[in-house]
Amino acid sequence: MTFDLSREQILKEIIKSGKDAVYFINNYAKISHPMRGLIPFKTYDFQTDLVNNYNDHRFTVILKARQLGISTITAAYVAWMMMFHRDKNVLVIATKFGTAANLVKKVKSIHKHLPQWLKIAEISIDNRTSFELSNGSQIKASSTSADAGRSEALSLLVIDEAAHVEGLEDLWTGLYPTLSTGGRCIALSTPNGVGNWFHQTCVDADMKENDFYLVNLPWHVHPERDQQWFDKETKNMSRRQIAQELECNFNMSGETVFHPDDMREIESCLCEPKYRTGFDRNLWIWEEYKPEFNYMLSADVARGDGQDYSTFLIFKLDTNEVVAEYQGKATPDIFADLITNIGREFGDCLAVVENNSVGWSVVTKMEELGYPNVYYSKKSTHEYVDSLMAEASGVVPGFSMTQKTRPLVVAKFEEFVRNKLITIRSKRLFNEMKTFVWHNGKPQAMKKHNDDLIIACAIGCWVKETAFSVNQRNAEYQKAFLSSMATTNKSLNTSIPGMIGYEKIQRENKLEDDMSEAKDFLWLLKG
């Protein structure tokens, strides 16, 4: 554009630029190029479309690849908005304060390098991370503290690298009212796993379940990037990095505990349960009990009154298949009844119950109910101990989850998944695994998500592979010995309310006499 213009031409250019943000950017905005220095901003088609979307939609969420110039085009749009509109209040937040401040710097630079005649509003207050124009419009960068922007009425909120902002769910709750007078929001980011605010916002926007308009910008929207460029760029990148930086793939991005490739393998095995039963219909069964197989139940216990769930899984030990699963808000006493009943349905299988806090009441009630195969362990080593040795010193019922054992059991579960040693069919467990991430070096569920099924499954894997395997031979001796002395009905019992398609069978239980007799022959079981 020639700047030797008449007064009339200048007026026309000002009016035209004020009406059309894209025209303003392509003709008057200049940006800093790392190699070429200060250059005119010439938008690509996808950048032009994005600016138009900013105008057309009050809330815009952008799922993007790296290095597409999205932050820069957003800064140019903000510069236009502040220049040609009075009293606009813009707030920029990001995962790091420096990132937010850098976007403010870009806006200031664009304004600084405009032709003097186009600066219809001059900078009146200039600070390192904020500035104000003479028309009353202002912009500032802010940290992601709990009180960010809460006392202000915002015209535009820009959230840069939104998927990486810690605690954005709570932050958004506080910021949303500041937009109530017609304010707009632009949230942009590469993906960072599932379950966070950015992921949920994108999913809901795609389903038209919120006010955001979704823009998806993977690497190939850039006209100068082809397959050859992609192959060269990704030569030294991991699969996770490619998914996050270039492909806009939520499921394969982020610092999840379970590798994306392993998750794809699990996803291919997911299916609906054969039965949904139990008192709350939350007991899912994929396969009925078969007397020729061995089973184990592993459980994680919650109070039943909060966000956490009480959960258990039943493993077919011979094949490491998860054949049944419960996830619900059962109180400890009801949960104990449920475990006892389903354990009996599966041939009095070994019941491994986490015994911390309320878990202890579950274990003790199972003993009161006469369940014959509760998991016992040494407090010092967590080594499995046969129930017939329950009175031994230092032996407790249940599995003790501690700061020491938690990373061990999680690591064992991850090992099972990585080596394809376990078959998982549950969508509930799979969804927990998607939001199970490394946080400060510790494996845990993302905020507002759960890991109760994961912990139940992890306990089962650990017991199966370590504690239980040491005594596998003795356990087989025990099973054979007790089977020769006691006649028990191993058919599937329908004592669980709501069970579909099963016949109710009364069970003869001579367990106490059998176990008393068995104690006299411990030398045979442990020989």
Same domain, 288 and 407: yes
Specify if 148 maps to a domain: yes
What is the SS3 assignment for 373?
A: coil
* The predicted structure's pLDDT at residue 37: 83
What's the pLDDT score for residue 388? 61
Apex 139 CA angle, 138 and 141, nearest 5? 155
Which H helix or E strand runs over 396? strand 395-397
Query: Looking at 231, 253, 275, which one is the last position of a domain?
Result: 253
Residue 256 DSSP class = B
Share above pLDDT 90 across residues of the chain, in percent, rounded to a whole number:
62
Same domain for 202 and 243?
yes
Do the domain assignments include residue 526? no
Please enumerate, as own/partner, the contacts of 413-420 that have beta carbons within 8 Å and a separation of 24 or more. 413/454, 413/457, 413/458, 413/461, 413/462, 414/257, 414/258, 415/461, 416/320, 416/461, 416/465, 417/258, 417/262, 417/266, 418/258, 418/259, 418/262, 420/262, 420/265
37 and 122 together in one domain: yes
* Residues 476, 445 within the same domain: yes
Other Cβ atoms less than 10 A from the Cβ of 180: the count is 9
CATH number at residue 198: 3.40.50.300
Residue 525 domain-assigned? no
pTM value is 0.66
- Is residue 47 domain-shared with residue 136, that is, in the same domain? yes
Do 249 and 280 lie in one domain? The reply is no
Q: Reply yes or no on whether the pLDDT at 243 is more than 90.
A: no
Task: Specify which residues 264 forms β-bridges with.
Answer: none
How many structural domains compose the chain? 2
228, 253, 278 - which closes a domain:
253
Q: Assess if residue 397 is contained within a domain.
A: yes
DSSP per-residue string spanning 92-155: EEESSHHHHHHHHHHHHHHHHTS-GGG-SS-EEEEETTEEEETTS-EEEEE---TTTTTTS--S
* Helix, coil or strand: residue 508: coil
* Residue 36: per-residue pLDDT: 79
Could you tell me if residue 1 is inside a domain? no
Residue 438 lies in a domain: yes
Residues 426 and 512 in one domain: yes
Does one domain contain both 212 and 282?
A: no
Nearest to 243 by CA among 261, 258, 226: 261
Q: What is the pLDDT of residue 307?
A: 77
Distance from C-alpha of 461 to C-alpha of 411, rounded to nearest angstrom: 10
**Cα 132 to the center of its chain, rounded Å:** 39
The string of pLDDT tens digits covering residues 295-327 is 999 999 987 667 789 999 999 999 999 999 999
Residues 137, 286 within the same domain:
no
Instruction: Report the pLDDT value the prediction gives residue 250, as an integer from 0 to 100.
Output: 82
* 444-481 residue pLDDT tens: 888 778 999 999 999 999 999 886 655 554 555 455 54
Q: At which of 212, 236, 253 does a domain end?
A: 253
Region 334-363: mean pLDDT is: 94
Residues 229 and 153 in one domain: yes
Residue 208 within any structural domain of the chain: yes
Is the same domain home to 138 and 47?
yes
Residues 191 and 103 in one domain: yes
Q: What pLDDT sits at residue 379?
A: 65
pLDDT at position 360: 92
Instruction: Give me the pLDDT at residue 424, please.
Output: 97
Position 524 in a domain: no
Answer yes or no: are the C-beta atoms of 459 and 407 closer than 8 Å. Answer: no
How far apart are alpha carbons 309 and 450 in whole angstroms? Answer: 8
CATH number at residue 484: 3.30.420.240
Percent of the chain at pLDDT exceeding 70: 83
Range of the domain at 69: 7-253
pLDDT at position 479 is 54
pLDDT of residue 483: 56
